[in-house]
C-alpha cells in the first residue's frame, strides 16, 4: 500500500474537518491551525518512538510498527528489512561475500558429482580442490601430495604454456602425462578472481575414431586419384580429336572432362587437408620472400581468370620474409586469392595488403565482390560448408579451400579472420605472430634475379 498517499489523505481530511468546524463556528483560521498542530504532534510522537527504539540498539527486536503509525512504520520497515535475492548484492559487501562463498560451495558439490575430472587452482597454480575422477585420471591422491602445484601433477610443457597463456577459448589436446597411449583434453575456466577451474577429459577413444576417419579419407583419396587421372587423360584425348566424334557425344565428353577435373581437384584438396590434419609440422623453416610469393600467386590467378580482367594491387614491402613452409603458405594465399577472383565480377578490384603491429603481422586480401552474409562467416572454414549450392556449382569449388587455409595458418601459429557484407565485398586477414616475420636486405644479385623472374609474369592489370 502507498502510505505516502495515506498520509496526504489524512492531512486533507483534517483540513476538511477544520474547514467545516470553522464555517460552523465562524472561525476558519483557528480550526485550520489546530488541525495542523494535531498532525504535527502525531508525527512528532511517532518519530520520537523510532528514535527511542534506535537509541536502545534494539535492532534485533521486532520493529514497533504499531507505535510508529503507518507512514513512519513503513519507512522504518523498508529501511531495516533484509535485502532479497533479486536485489543488487554490491550494496552489501558482507552479504555479497557470504553469497559468493555459498555459491562456490554449491558449484564444488556439483563438479564433485559431475563424473568429469575437475580440479581448482589458485593464483599460484596450487591445487586447492579436486574431485575423485581427476585423481583416477591423473593417478594421484590429493591428501598424499607433497607438492600441490599443478605443474608437478600434470608434467606437460604444452599444458604449462596453455595455462600461462590465459587464452582459454579453446581446449588443449595432449598425451596423458602418465601414459603415451591416452589422449586428454584440458579446458581451463576462470572461476573467480583468484581461482581457475581445470576440466580434464579422457578422449582417447574419440581421438582414435577421428584418426581412423582421417586415415580413411586419405586412403580413399589415394585410391581414387589413379582412376580419375585415367578418365581425365582419355577424355582429353577424345576432346583433342573432337571432329572425329559423333555430334551427340561432344557435349557429354566435355561434361565428363569437366567433372574429372573437378573430382581431381577435390581429391587433391582432400589429400592436402588430410596431411595437414594428421602430420605434425615438418619443422621446415624457409625464409619465404613474401612479395615474390604474392606476386607469383597473383600471376597464376590472373592466368586462370584471364577473362574476368580483374585489377590487382600488391602493397607489401620487398624486404619482408616469413619463416615457414613455402608450399603450405603458397597453398593458403593461393586459395584466398582464387576465392576472391571467383566471387568478384568482371573488372573488379582485388587488393593484397600487409599491416604490422607490435605483436602481429597481417596479410589482407580484399575484394569488391558479392560479399558473404554475416550469418555464414563462423562456419566458412568448415569442410564442404556451402553458403549456397549455386555458388559451388557456378565456380567449381571443392568446399575445402578455407579449411586448408585455417589449418596452414594454425601450423604457422596464426589464424584466419573474415570480414564481409553482402554487396560490399570481403576482407580475409591472415594473422601471423611477429616472431615469424623478419626484415632483411638481400644482395643486389638476389634482388636482380627476383626482379627478372617477376618480369616474366603477366603484368597487365597488376599494380606493384
Task: Give the tens place of pLDDT for each residue, 376-408.
Answer: 888 888 887 877 655 555 555 677 889 999 999
Greatest mean pLDDT among 248-257, 364-373, 438-447, 448-457 lies in 364-373
CB atoms within 10 A of CB 315: 14
**pLDDT band at 249; cut points 50, 70, 90:** confident
State how far the Cα of 189 lies from the Cα of 387, in Å rounded to an integer: 33
Instruction: Specify the range with the lowest mean pLDDT, choosing from 59-73, 226-240, 309-323, 401-415.
Output: 59-73
C-alpha radius of gyration, the chain, whole number:
38
Q: Which three cell numbers stand for residue 107?
A: 558449484
| CATH of 104-202 among 3.40.50.300, 3.30.450.20, 3.10.20.30, 3.30.70.260 | 3.30.450.20
- Using CA atoms, how far residue 375 sits from 406, 418, 430, in Å, is 19, 12, 21
- Residue 54: the pLDDT is 64
The answer to whether domain 207-278 has CATH 1.10.287.130 is yes
Q: What is the pLDDT of residues 119-164, one digit of tens each?
A: 888 888 888 888 888 888 888 888 877 788 888 888 888 888 888 8
Q: What is the mean pLDDT of residues 215-223?
A: 77
DSSP string for residues in 65-115: HHHHHHHHHHHHHHHHSPP-TTS-GGG-HHHHHHHHHHHHHHHHHHHHTSS
Burial degree of 246 (CB within 10 A; 0-12, 13-18, 19+): exposed
Place of cell 558429482: 113
Q: What share of the chain is helix, strand, coil (3-state, %, to 5)?
A: 55, 20, 25
CATH architecture of the domain formed by 286-463: 2-Layer Sandwich (3.30)
* Contact between 436 and 323 (Cβ < 8 Å): yes
Instruction: Specify the range with the lowest mean pLDDT, choosing from 53-67, 133-147, 205-219.
Output: 53-67
- Report the percent of the chain where pLDDT is more than 90: 17
Q: Which three cell numbers stand for residue 394?
A: 557456378
| Domains of the chain by residue range | 3-80, 104-202, 207-278, 286-463
- Residue 94: the pLDDT is 42
Residue 258 has pLDDT above 70, yes or no: yes
**pLDDT band at 297; cut points 50, 70, 90:** very high
More confident residue, 94 or 123: 123
Q: What is the mean pLDDT of residues 18-25?
A: 75
More confident residue, 462 or 215: 215
- Report the percent of the chain where pLDDT is more than 70: 74
- Residue 87: the pLDDT is 42
**pLDDT band at 329; cut points 50, 70, 90:** very high
Q: Over the chain, what is the mean pLDDT? A: 78
Residue 455 has pLDDT above 50, yes or no: no
Amino acid at each position: 500500500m502507498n502510505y505516502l498517499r495515506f498520509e496526504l489523505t489524512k492531512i486533507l481530511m483534517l483540513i476538511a474537518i477544520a474547514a467545516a468546524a470553522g464555517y460552523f463556528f465562524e472561525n476558519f483560521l483557528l480550526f485550520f491551525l489546530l488541525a495542523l498542530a494535531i498532525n504535527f504532534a502525531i508525527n512528532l510522537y511517532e518519530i520520537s518512538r523510532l528514535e527511542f527504539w534506535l537509541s536502545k540498539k534494539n535492532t534485533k527486536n521486532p520493529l514497533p510498527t504499531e507505535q510508529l503509525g503507518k507512514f513512519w512504520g513503513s519507512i522504518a520497515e523498508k529501511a531495516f528489512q533484509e535485502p532479497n535475492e533479486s536485489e543488487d548484492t554490491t550494496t552489501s559487501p558482507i552479504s555479497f561475500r557470504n553469497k559468493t562463498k555459498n555459491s562456490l560451495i554449491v558449484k564444488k558439490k556439483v563438479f564433485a558429482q559431475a563424473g568429469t575430472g575437475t580440479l581448482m587452482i589458485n593464483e599460484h597454480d596450487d591445487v586447492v580442490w579436486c574431485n575423485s575422477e581427476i585423481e583416477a585420471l591423473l593417478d594421484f591422491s590429493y591428501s598424499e601430495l607433497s607438492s600441490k602445484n599443478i605443474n608437478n601433477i600434470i608434467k606437460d610443457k604444452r599444458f604449462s604454456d596453455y595455462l600461462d597463456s590465459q587464452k582459454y577459448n579453446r581446449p588443449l589436446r595432449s598425451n596423458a602425462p602418465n601414459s603415451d597411449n591416452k589422449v586428454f583434453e584440458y579446458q581451463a575456466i576462470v572461476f573467480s578472481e583468484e581461482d581457475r577451474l581445470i576440466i580434464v577429459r579422457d578422449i582417447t577413444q574419440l581421438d582414435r575414431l577421428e584418426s581412423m576417419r582421417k586415415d580413411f579419407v586419405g586412403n580413399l583419396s589415394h585410391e581414387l586419384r589413379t582412376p580419375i587421372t585415367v578418365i581425365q587423360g582419355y577424355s582429353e584425348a577424345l576432346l583433342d580429336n573432337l571432329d572425329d566424334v559423333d555430334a551427340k557425344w561432344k557435349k557429354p565428353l566435355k561434361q565428363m572432362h569437366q567433372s574429372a577435373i573437378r573430382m581431381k581437384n577435390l581429391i587433391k584438396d582432400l589429400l592436402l587437408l588430410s596431411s595437414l590434419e594428421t602430420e605434425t609440422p615438418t619443422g621446415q623453416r624457409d625464409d619465404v620472400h613474401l612479395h615474390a610469393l604474392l606476386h607469383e600467386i597473383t600471376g597464376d590467378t590472373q592466368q586462370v581468370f584471364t577473362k574476368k580482367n580483374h585489377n590487382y594491387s600488391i602493397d607489401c614491402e620487398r624486404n619482408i620474409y616469413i619463416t615457414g613452409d613455402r608450399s603450405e603458405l603458397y597453398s593458403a594465399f593461393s586459395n584466398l586469392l582464387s576465392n576472391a577472383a571467383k566471387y568478384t565480377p568482371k573488372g573488379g578490384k582485388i587488393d593484397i595488403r600487409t599491416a604490422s603491429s607490435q605483436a602481429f603481422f597481417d596479410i589482407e586480401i580484399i575484394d569488391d565482390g558479392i560479399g558473404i552474409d554475416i550469418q555464414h562467416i563462423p562456419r566458412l572454414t568448415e569442410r564442404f560448408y556451402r553458403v549456397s549450392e549455386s555458388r559451388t556449382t557456378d565456380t567449381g569449388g571443392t568446399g575445402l579451400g578455407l579449411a586448408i587455409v585455417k589449418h596452414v595458418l594454425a601450423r604457422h601459429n596464426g589464424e584466419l579472420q573474415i570480414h564481409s557484407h553482402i554487396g560490399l565485398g570481403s576482407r580475409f586477414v591472415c594473422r601471423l605472430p611477429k616472431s615469424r616475420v623478419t626484415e632483411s636486405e638481400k644482395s643486389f644479385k638476389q634482388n636482380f634475379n627476383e626482379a627478372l623472374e617477376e618480369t616474366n609474369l603477366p603484368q597487365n592489370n597488376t599494380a606493384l
